[in-house]
Structure 1
Amino acid sequence: MNRFTRFSALALPLLATTAGLAQATDPVPPAVAADLAVSAYVTHIADTTLSPEQVSGLKSIAHQKATAFSCEAFDIDDAKYQEAFAAVYPPAAEFDVKPEADQLKLHSIVMVTLGSYMGSQLTLASMDTAAFCANAEEERADPAAPGLIWAAKP
């Protein structure tokens, strides 16, 4: 079970109803609360500019970049990173025909989304680096994990 699966297992039952949150005997773990807050903010700013798939892709990139920064055994494969980023950003031919204001809006929202998730992931990593890195090792070992951009450090 990777970090995102654990997050879903913890967060979804709590989000199912407002009563579930009000009646919970245990407080929401800080890592879950932080992730929910950043995700709510990103959803708000992304609005109709980014699709849920683009937001998810940016969150994945940020998570993996934070892992590479925080965990000794991880590094980013530049080619895989460029491929993952290309999947969330329109090709030049599509981007260039947009009005300048739309280009600026899209670029700004992509960068703020990536930066917000990057900051969040670095914060989560700092809360318990060993656990964060161990979860990333599980994620990397999962053959079904989509969009991994990690390369083993030499």
Structure 2
Amino acid sequence: MVIRYLCIIAALAAAPSVSAQTKASAVVPDAIKMDLAATDAIRSVLDDTFDEGHIAMLQALGHQQAVASTCSGFEIDPKAFSTEFDLIYDDSSGKPRNLDASQRAEIERKATLAMGMALGAQIAISANDHQAFCQAATQERSNGKATHLIWTK
């Protein structure tokens, strides 16, 4: 989640400044609206199957895939991706859920759909200011504080 918001903040910082009157009317930038709408849609798809930690992880994976797809110098580490994605099989306390084959398939279907939604939303958000989006991702990768990192080092 931190990654996503850093990119949005960077895109906003690069946006032209607005007058005091516009600021007073609390105009919400399109990138923020897009991100919030995507998050709401992802939550509706996942219903009660996943907790907020799962949702944040899936959004982080989608974001990083968008960065790797649109910014030079970024690649996905398949092993790191697999390790992170496999968190969908754990409960909110980090213990493996007891799932039969049908439940496992449903969990995978929902998680894959949510991650794809996050990927698509992040690609659209990157189009607002691609340079700022990629710069924010570079900073995120270099500061080492983000969770769920799946980029190659």
TM-score normalised according to structure 1 size: 0.75
The corresponding residue for 1:20 is: none
1:116 aligns to 2:117 (yes or no): yes
The correspondence of residues 1-154 of structure 1 with structure 2, limited to 5 A, is 3-5=4-6, 25-90=25-90, 97-98=99-100, 100=102, 102-151=103-152
Cα drift, residue 77 of structure 1: 1.2
RMSD: 2.7
1:37 and 1:99, CA in 2 relative to 1: closer, same or farther beyond 3 A? same
User: Structure 1: which 5+ runs fail to align?
Assistant: 9-22
Question: Deviations 1:56-112 (Å, cap 9, x if unpaired)?
Answer: 11100011010000001111111111111112345xxx6784262x33432221121
Q: CA deviation at 1:113?
A: 0.5
Runs of 5+ consecutive residues of structure 2 not aligned to the other structure: 10-22, 91-95
Q: TM-score, normalised by structure 2?
A: 0.76
- Judge conservation of contact 1:3–1:135 (CA < 8 Å) in 2: no
**Percent of pairs identical after alignment?**
26
Alpha-carbon distance in structure 1 between the residues aligned to 2:125 and 2:56: 17
Bigger RCO (CA 8 Å, 6+ sep): 2
- Partners in 1 of 2:104 and 2:141 — Cα distance? 34
* CA distance in structure 2 between the partners assigned to 1:70 and 1:58 by the alignment: 18
Structure 1 residue matching 2:152: 3-state secondary structure: strand
Tell me, in whole angstroms, the C-alpha distance in 1 between the residues paired with 2:24 and 2:55: 29
8 Å CA contact 2:58, 2:85 repeated in 1: yes
